[in-house]
Amino acid sequence: MRNMSKQFRLSVLDQTPIRKDGDASSALTESIRLARLADRLGYTRYWLSEHHNTTTLAGASPEILIARLAAETHHIRLGSGGIMLPNHSTLKVAENFRLLEALYPGRIDLGLGRAPGGDRLTAHLLNPTNTFDPQEYIKQLHDLEAFLTDTPTPGNFEGKIRAIPSIHTRPQLWMLTSSGESGLLAAHFGMALCYAQFINPVGGPEALRAYRDRFKPSATLTEPHTAVGIFAFCSEDPQKVHETQALIDYRLLGFEKGNYDEIPTVAAALAYDYTPAEWQRVLHNRRRTAVGTPQQLRDIFEGLAADFDTDEFVISTFTEDPAGRLRSYELLAREFELTPAAIRPASVTAL
């Protein structure tokens, strides 16, 4: 194995997929197994997504699952990727994550997004006051910052309302973006930024560059910090690589066609006859993925790291079987020479 010129951090994005003939309980048990494995292997953070009104994903409440997975692990950071802030009361988000930080000091990430995590009707029921106004989202960010720092502002009635528990540390704040617009907010508020390449493969390097150019240091982050989220799968078996690429192709196209409740299989993916227009979408969507052997993944990630000027990847992996998913994370940890957190130097465990 050749030495890497740059040490990468690898992290996990778990969208809690429900498998064919499985259920939510088995999906969540799989998440527990994956979190334990990622903790042992030396992954930096483990994020959970927020999705609603679908039968294919189990993760409607990241904050609840974070608490369970943090109790199952020892070193890895646990967080949201992300909490869709407009769906919620800002005060309640602050209290949820202050409580998590009090339980697991120095291990909690609060990743924020503004997409609904589903459809707008569901988002309205989650928060009937949600107007989908970008200015309201900015106000929520100001209020969240005030709650987490106990700063009197009009949003907390000049300090009369406090987020409890009162603690001396705070969760690490991340902004999630797939367009770049939220990257400018991250720069303004002095937050770390993760670009969702797995959602939009166009414009990511430019979005991170604009974020760095405009970054304003905050009390918790003095320099810009970035990561890139991507769908990825790694196997030493070329046939497994082929089958999983087909599965991901079929799944992403199905989402674009509104098939949110279909749980795809490799057999269905291999049998599907794409139209020319659909195949063009497949080729476009493959830019959202990194699928291959360990050496191929190394080459892909090194290229992305150079394009994005980043040293961290947040990896979401979908497979037909749980074992293939776990094995993929194991192979990536080995290929990128991750250091288990128990023996990692203290300076490496920060952000």
Q: What is the pLDDT of residue 347?
A: 39
72-111 residue pLDDT tens:
999 999 999 999 999 999 999 999 999 999 999 999 999 9
129-155 residue pLDDT tens:
998 899 999 999 999 999 999 999 999
Token duo for residue 89 = 């009361």
pLDDT band at residue 4 using 50, 70 and 90 as cut-offs = very low
181 contacts: CB under 8 Å, gap ≥ 6: none
Q: What is the pLDDT of residue 1?
A: 38
Task: Examine the pLDDT at 224 and tell me if it is beyond 90.
Answer: yes
DSSP 62-111: HHHHHHHHHHH-SSSEEEEEEEEGGGS-HHHHHHHHHHHHHHSTT-EEEE
Other Cβ atoms less than 10 A from the Cβ of 132: the count is 12
Task: Examine the pLDDT at 5 and tell me if it is beyond 90.
Answer: no
Q: What is the pLDDT of residue 342?
A: 60
Higher pLDDT: 118 or 330? It is 330
Residue 206 φ then ψ, to 5°: -65, -35
Q: Measuring CA to CA, which residue among 117, 111, 130 is closest to residue 54?
A: 117
What number is the average pLDDT over the span 189-195?
Answer: 98
Burial class (CB in 10 A: 0-12, 13-18, 19+), 257: exposed
User: Is 306 strand, coil or helix?
Assistant: helix
27-86 residue pLDDT tens:
999 999 999 999 999 999 999 999 999 999 999 999 999 999 999 999 999 999 999 999
Q: Measuring CA to CA, which residue among 35, 127, 111 is closest to residue 74?
A: 35
